[in-house]
Amino acid sequence: MGKHSNSLLDSLPSLNQIHIVMLGLDSAGKTTALYRLKFDQYLNTVPTIGFNCEKIKAQSGKAKGTSFLVWDIGGQDKLRPLWRSYTRCTDGIVFVVDSVDQERMEEAKMELQRTARTPENAGVPILVLANKQDLPAAKDPKEIARILGLPELSGSHLWHVQPACAIIGEGLDEGLEILYDMIIKKKKIAKQSKRKR
């Protein structure tokens, strides 16, 4: 193996398969978003006990053709301790929040901050899907970023809040693209810091 032969492989995110974990409180719309991305249609879902896992091929932009393996993990409080075992070796986290559910925003913040601050998730890019934006009482993405405390996350975290409506699929492809971008950026930064050592 020559010195240059593996540099191409390094630049491809885990050989074109990216691992994503979808988290969020129960009934935020994770599973709806997952199946919207997978089948481009609305499927009636039941609360997830355990997880759903689907392979999704990005349809647009720079991410086009990339396979995402998406794990959608149940969000009921008794299931949340399991999140850690899924985020251990993930490339990106999608945190889905119900933009209308004012009462549970604080709870969502607590769970998101706990996940982001877990040592093994240091620097894992976070895409917040601000779901249910079609409803009149929905908070806007800036407000949601503030409530969830995203600006206070350590500088190593790339994050973005994407307005979305999972039922009709609005904002999901864009969100995936932005997450892909953040993952590539993160891999580049990691490579540079390795060189500096």
23 labelled as ligand-binding?
no
133 labelled as ligand-binding?
yes
CA–CA distances in Å: residue 83 to residues 58, 64, 170, 192: 24, 28, 26, 30
26 labelled as ligand-binding?
yes
Measured distance CA(29)–CA(100) in Å, rounded? 12
44 labelled as ligand-binding?
no
CA–CA distances in Å: residue 72 to residues 127, 134, 187: 14, 22, 23
140 labelled as ligand-binding?
no
> Which one from 17, 76, 113, 192 is the annotated catalytic residue?
76
165 - beta bridge partners?
170
190 labelled as ligand-binding?
no
Q: Is 102 a catalytic residue?
A: no
User: Active-site residues: which are they?
Assistant: 76
Binding site for Mg(2+): what residues are annotated? 31, 48
Binding site for GTP: what residues are annotated? 24-31, 75, 131-134
Binding site: what residues are annotated? 24-31, 48, 75, 131-134
